[in-house]
Amino acid sequence: MIRTRLYKDGKVVKENFDPAEISDHLEAKDACLVWLDLGAPRPEDLALIAEEFGLNPLAVEDAKNERQRPKLDHYDDHVFISLYDVALAEDGTLVAHELAVFASQRYLITVRKSQGYSMDQVVARWDDNEHLAKYGVGFLLWGLLDVVVDGHFDTVQQLDDRIDGLEDLLFEPSDTGTAVQRESYDLRKSLVRIRRVVLPTREVLNSLMRRENDLVDDALMPYYQDVYDHVLRAADWTDSLRDLVSTILETHLTIQGNRMNEIMKKVTSWAAIAAVPAVVTGYYGMNVLVYPHAGTEAGGIAALVLMAGLVAVLYVLFRKSDWL
């Protein structure tokens, strides 16, 4: 899956043209900018693109391999950027789409390592801000990074909403111990994964915003600063949510311990009440006739009265102590 665009004088003049024409456009003297997008390319496709654009072999190797850390590497005439766009699936699991980006003054190459990710949202961001296209590849990079970081921010927002639901589940009267523990584990795992993506992305933006980097025009700095602020907020928010999940789990364990104490108090109280009749009947059931009215009907009545009285006294005492 290949997608192309040609910019001249800050305007789109051609789309979805044959990639074989790219070299002709790059060799032209007029200031044009080429965008090439590859979806799940084969190794031979990357090799062809590397030869066409003169890409560094180390950068191409990183583009082939999956699970690269988000980073920015500088080479002679281009940079290589590794990014991740993340989202929450319907089942609540975190899905990460890896992107490899090659950028120079005359071109931007995006490599989507999975076919499930679409560049339509990025293209829409470019079209909505076409007045910035005159700033070249820095504009294209900003649109791409803005969409990626917005995805980070939206995902953290969704995780925050799930944590709110977990807090409500925490104080349900029914036994939800397994559900709370499972949800806490899944949320913590998702937050750890997204943190591994957000923090290095912050460093990528920081590197692009340095004055010695000639890809970003000074006029674009406020736009990059806005994206950088979003990254910082997403990183801080992620750390806060991780601490909140830990607090929720600790609170859940405390609540479980308190509930167990209440149960133990009730069990102990009923056991004490049940022990009174056992003691009285055991005493009156002895074969040794050492108590008044032994072996008579009056003795049996006295035993019943004594048992009922002691049970009533214990019940009242335990109720006043809020043990029953």
Same domain, 267 and 239: no
Same domain, 176 and 234: yes
Count CB neighbours of 150 within 10 A: 16
User: Could you tell me which residue, 32 or 279, shows the higher pLDDT?
Assistant: 32
CA distances for 114 relative to 47, 83, 197, angstroms: 18, 13, 17
Q: Are 36 and 2 in contact (CB under 8 A)?
A: yes
Domain C-terminal end among 255, 280, 310 = 255
Which structural domain range is residue 121 located in? 2-255
> Distance between CA 74 and CA 213 in Å, rounded?
10
- pLDDT tens digits, one per residue of 169-206: 777 766 666 777 888 888 888 898 999 999 999 999 99
Residue 122 pLDDT:
94
Element housing 161 (H / E): helix 137-170
pLDDT beyond 80 at 115 = no
Distance of CA 273 to the CA centre of its chain: 52
Q: Are 159 and 190 in contact (CB under 8 A)?
A: yes
Instruction: State the total domains in the chain.
Output: 2
Domain C-terminal end among 255, 279, 305 = 255
User: Could you tell me which residue, 167 or 224, shows the higher pLDDT?
Assistant: 224
Same domain, 304 and 243: no
Domain C-terminal end among 255, 274, 298 = 255
Same domain, 282 and 238: no
Kindly report the CATH number assigned to the domain that includes residue 240: 3.30.460.20
User: Could you tell me which residue, 312 or 140, shows the higher pLDDT?
Assistant: 140
- Expressed in angstroms, the distance from the first to the final Cα of the chain is 71
> Distance between CA 13 and CA 305 in Å, rounded?
103
- pLDDT tens digits, one per residue of 285-294: 665 555 666 6
Q: Are 276 and 284 in contact (CB under 8 A)?
A: no
Same domain, 164 and 305: no
Same domain, 156 and 32: yes
DSSP helix/strand/coil, 307: helix
pTM: 0.78
Same domain, 234 and 282: no
Residue 284 pLDDT:
66
- pLDDT tens digits, one per residue of 84-111: 999 888 777 888 999 999 999 989 999 9
Structure tokens at 120: 């339509």
Same domain, 270 and 248: no
Same domain, 134 and 211: yes
User: Could you tell me which residue, 284 or 239, shows the higher pLDDT?
Assistant: 239
pLDDT beyond 90 at 29 = no
- Characterize 227-259 residue by residue with b for buried, 16 or more Cβ atoms within 10 angstroms of its Cβ, and e for exposed: bbebbeebbebbeebbebbeebbeebeeeeeee
pLDDT beyond 80 at 234 = yes
Sign of the C-alpha dihedral computed for residues 102, 111, 97 and 137 taken in this order = positive
> Distance between CA 160 and CA 162 in Å, rounded?
5
> Distance between CA 154 and CA 88 in Å, rounded?
9
Instruction: Give the contacts of 317 (CB within 8 A, at least 6 positions apart).
Output: none
User: Could you tell me which residue, 50 or 261, shows the higher pLDDT?
Assistant: 50
pLDDT beyond 90 at 225 = yes
Same domain, 302 and 206: no
Same domain, 31 and 105: yes
Sign of the C-alpha dihedral computed for residues 299, 300, 305 and 310 taken in this order = positive
Same domain, 284 and 237: no
Mean pLDDT, to the nearest integer, of 65-93? 88
User: Could you tell me which residue, 156 or 284, shows the higher pLDDT?
Assistant: 156
Helix, strand, coil shares, percent, the chain, to 5: 60, 15, 25
Q: Are 140 and 33 in contact (CB under 8 A)?
A: yes
- pLDDT tier at 295, thresholds 50, 70, 90: low
Q: Using a pLDDT cut of 70, give the percent of the chain over it.
A: 93
Q: How big is the chain, counted in residues?
A: 324
